[in-house]
Amino acid sequence: MPERDTATFPPEQLSAATPGSTPELLHWLHQQLQAGQREASLLQSLRDTGWTDTVAHQALKAVVQWRTSQAQAPCAPTPLPGADLTRRPCLLDAGDRQVQVLMCMEQPHILLLGDLLSPDECEAIIAAAQPQMARSRTVAIRTGGEEINADRTSEGMFFQRGETPEVQRLEARLARLLRWPLANGEGLQVLHYGPGAEYKPHHDYFDPAEPGTPSILRRGGQRLGTVVVYLNEPEEGGATYFPETGLRIQPRRGNAVFFRYAQPQAHTLTLHGGDPVLRGEKWIATKWLREREFH
């Protein structure tokens, strides 16, 4: 059966006709089948995470039937966040300021932006975040919760959307620049890396094969894009590194790098990490963009 674009899949409609299921469960099953997972394995995964046999079978049956019915239908492109680069602009309109286009790579899609934030805005975000900093956690992909990860040796915190004037302005600029609803963004995460701290290479999307993914997707669907905003400049080290392309982006205060991934798969070439800080410290703010409204 031809692969289907997840943007055309109607989880809400199927959920209404499948008692006990959720749109997130049905969307996850669709992604699993698209990735080649076997039906028996999916049923066992659902049992392991607490779904009843009745709901598991009905949900899987509904998704399989829909995919079969759509096998011959034309595929529509997946809506993705991204700036309008059709005329290869040097500047982009962020609403209340002009933002520089410093670099753009097509595969993977990576966009380096200059002067997204002013120095004063960077300092204000750091100052507001400092009292709330704690050892950074990552999403626990097997349970859907959070956990300490040895690969991520930073401190961090999350702002609620629009929590401070500076956060509100940054989110509004990103929504305009990347043509993506503000409500589809997770809360802004601020991270602090001291000497020796790093984040080893990883993907930002949620692996469809992990049993905790359905519960994560309930809050707004899959991640589609990442924005890393540099709030200061370490003296040495701390670059954002894409090992599959060999690209390293040095932190410059007020600049930001955006990259996206149309599918939660390694072929998007969006494996990335944060090099160890060798001297000084690094402050960044990270914004993840979801398929749907994040709550």
Residues 44 and 117 in one domain: no
* 27 and 149 together in one domain: no
On whether residue 86 sits in a domain, the answer given is: no
Supply 239's token pair: 């670059």
Same domain, yes or no: 30 and 159 = no
CATH code assigned at 125: 2.60.120.620
pLDDT in tens, 10-37: 888 888 888 999 999 998 999 899 888 8
74 within a domain of the structure (yes/no):
no
What is the DSSP pairing of strand 110-114 with strand 98-105? antiparallel
Per-residue pLDDT tens digits for 224-275 = 999 999 999 999 999 999 999 999 999 999 999 999 999 999 999 999 999 9
Same domain, 28 and 137: no
pLDDT band at 7 (very low <50, low <70, confident <90, very high): very low
Q: Tell me whether residue 281 is exposed, middle or buried, using C-beta atoms within 10 angstroms of its C-beta: 0 to 12, 13 to 18, 19 or more.
A: middle
Judge if 228 and 183 occupy the same domain. yes
Q: Say if residue 51 is in the same domain as residue 112.
A: no
The model's pTM is 0.74
Residue 18 and residue 157 in one domain: no
Model pLDDT for residues 132-190, shown as the tens digit of each residue: 999 776 665 555 556 656 666 789 999 999 999 999 999 999 999 999 999 999 999 99
Do 127 and 206 share a domain, yes or no?
Answer: yes
Q: Which domain holds residue 160?
A: 91-290
Whether residue 179 sits in one domain with residue 282: yes
Summarize pLDDT for 63-106 with one digit per residue, the tens. 998 888 776 555 566 799 999 999 999 999 999 999 999 999 99
